[in-house]
Amino acid sequence: MATAQRIVLASRPVGEPKPENFRLEESPVPVPGQGQVLLRTIWLSLDPYMRGRMSDAPSYAAPVQIDQVMEGGTVSEVVASNNPDFKVGDVVLSRAGWQTHFVSDGKGLRKIDAKAAPTSTALGVLGMPGMTAYTGLLDIGKPQQGETVVVAAASGAVGSVVGQIAKIKGARAIGIAGGPDKCKYVKDVLGFDDCIDHRDPDMATKLKAACPKGIDVYFENVGGKVFEAVLPLLNPFARIPVCGLIAQYNAFEEEKGGKAMSFLMRSVLTKRLTIRGFIVSDFAARYNDFIADATKWFSEGKIKHRETVEEGLANAPRAFMGMLRGENFGKQLVRVGPDKA
C-alpha cells in the first residue's frame, strides 16, 4: 500500500457514539528510522473500554484526544525493520490503534507464534480478554469446588472464558446473555450449567431459579439491570470482580443528575473499590501463568471461542457501535489487512 489509513476521534460522543464522532484520514505510509520497525496491521481488536477512552471524564487511563488515532490492540506484521530484534515477516502484538500502519521502536511489542494458534486469538481468548477473565476470576473471585459463579455477557470475549475456567475449577457456571441464540451457544457449546436471557421480562425470577444456593462469585462486566437482578442473590462473603460496565458506558454524560447506581459502579471500576474493580494491567505479573494455562486449555479443547469479524478499517466505527449494542457474537475484530499465517 502506498497510502496509510487511520481513524481518529473527531468529536466526543454524548451518549451513544455516532459516525460523526470518527474520521477516516489518509497519509503516505511512514518510513521507519534508526532502531524502528514499520508495522502493517492485520487484526484490530474492538473492546468496550474504548468507549470510556472517548470521554474526557477522569478515569484509570488518559482519554483519546480529539484528532488523535483511536486506541486499540492489534496484531501486526513487520514489513520493514531497522531494529535487530525484529525481522521482516515477524508477527507481533502491539498497541498500534485504529490504523493500517504504525512505526514502533520495538518497546512493548510481543512476538506471536503463528503456529501455536490463529493469530487473531492473541487479541481474544489468548489475549487481553482471556487474561482479564483468568485474573479476575482466579485472583479476585477465587471460585471453590461446588460454588456458583455467575457471569454477565457470557457469550462475549471475557465472559465466555470466565465461565469455562469456572467449570475447569469445579464450580457451577451460570451465564447471562442477550437472546436465545447466544444462550444456546453458552450452554451447548461452552458448557455452562445454564444461561439466562437478560432480555426476558422474567430474567430475575429465572436467574434465582438457576441459582438455588445463591451466588458466590459474580463476574461483573455489564452493570445496569443485570446487576440489580444479581444483588439480592449474593451469598455472604460473595466476591464480585468488576472489569466493565458496558450497559452504562453510553450513559455517563447523560446521567450526571440521576441514577446513583451508575456512578457507584463506575467508581467501583475506575477506583478499584472493594467489590473489587480491576484493570487487567494490575495483574501484569500473572501473564506467563495465564499464557501457560490458557494455551494448554485451548489446545486441549477445554476453552472454546467465537469471533465476529468486520472487514476493512473503514468499517471499524460501525462494528464498534454495534458491539456496544450487543450485536456481535463473541470477540469483535476488524480484519484490517491479509493474514498470511
For 177-202, the pLDDT digits (tens) are 999 999 999 999 999 999 999 999 99
Q: What would the pLDDT profile of 125-173 be if each residue is shown by its tens digit?
A: 999 999 999 999 999 999 999 999 999 999 999 999 999 999 999 999 9
Domains of the chain: 3-124+305-335 (3.90.180.10), 132-299 (3.40.50.720)
Residues with Cβ < 8 Å from 277, sequence gap 6 or more?
Answer: 242, 243, 267, 268, 269, 270, 271
* Percent of the chain predicted with pLDDT > 70: 91
Q: What are phi and psi of 227, to 5 degrees?
A: -60, -40
Judge contact between 104 and 78, C-beta under 8 A.
no
Which cell numbers hold the place of 226? Answer: 443485570
